[in-house]
Amino acid sequence: MISINDKVPEGENPEKKEMSPEEMLEQALGPKPPEIRTMALFGDVDEEKSLDLIVGMLTLTEFTGKEAPYDPIKFYISTYGGSADEMFSIYDMMSILKSKCEIHTIGLGKVMSAGTLLLAAGTKGKRQIGRHCRVMIHAVAAGSAGELHNIENEVKSIKHIQELYINALSRETHMTKQMIQKLLDRRVNVYLSAEEAVEYGIADEIIN
């Protein structure tokens, strides 16, 4: 404590606050880099994995008690695909959270069908793909049996899901709706190399 009679050495501020060890370390090393949290989708896109991923994303963001923006999330993907409904559940959650934090997607080994949209849905500029990863796009598929009106209703639903898929993939990539429709009209699985995935805007860079 300094009294009115104490002399303050020249150049020293009597009101200067002492730094904590943490503040001294930050001053020496610079600001602490943002924490990166990791999630992964390995295997089929099904209801169980969709639930796990959505709850995980919320746990790393909304449930932390902190305010946005949140630290980035790394999302590793290796899948043959799966349910279109569960794909859209994960995709919608990613779309909601991207306004609050970056989502870095990384495709490894195989990113096919539903996985293609999820890889593309990462934050632009933060979507990576392994050099040996294969990407696959195909038309929505489903099986149906029973009365004719039920089959017709199922076909109508499939067409609607495919339209949603085309619109979403077009939003997230360099491909137009017409380009995607042309690929799907081949009625075969369309395989892309890592280089082609970057060219089409499904990913941004190849991991060497």
For the segment 92-111, what is each residue's pLDDT rounded down to a tens digit? 999 999 999 999 999 999 99
Three-state DSSP state, 5? coil
For the segment 48-85, what is each residue's pLDDT rounded down to a tens digit? 999 999 999 999 998 888 888 999 999 999 999 999 99
Active site amino acids = 113, 138
Q: Is the model's pLDDT at 202 over the cut of 50? A: yes
Q: How many CB atoms lie within 10 A of CB 176?
A: 11
Sign of CA dihedral 156, 158, 160, 163: negative
Q: Which of 96, 49, 58 shows the shortest CA–CA distance to 76?
A: 49
- Domains of the chain as residue ranges with CATH: 35-207 (3.90.226.10)
C-alpha torsion angle, residues 108, 112, 116, 122 (rounded to 10): -30
Q: Which of 53, 45, 106 shows the shortest CA–CA distance to 61?
A: 53
Measured distance CA(203)–CA(131) in Å, rounded: 11
| pLDDT band at residue 194 using 50, 70 and 90 as cut-offs | very high
- Per-residue model confidence (pLDDT) at position 3: 44
Mean pLDDT of the chain: 87
pTM: 0.80
* Percent with pLDDT over 70 in the chain: 82
Measured distance CA(6)–CA(102) in Å, rounded: 54
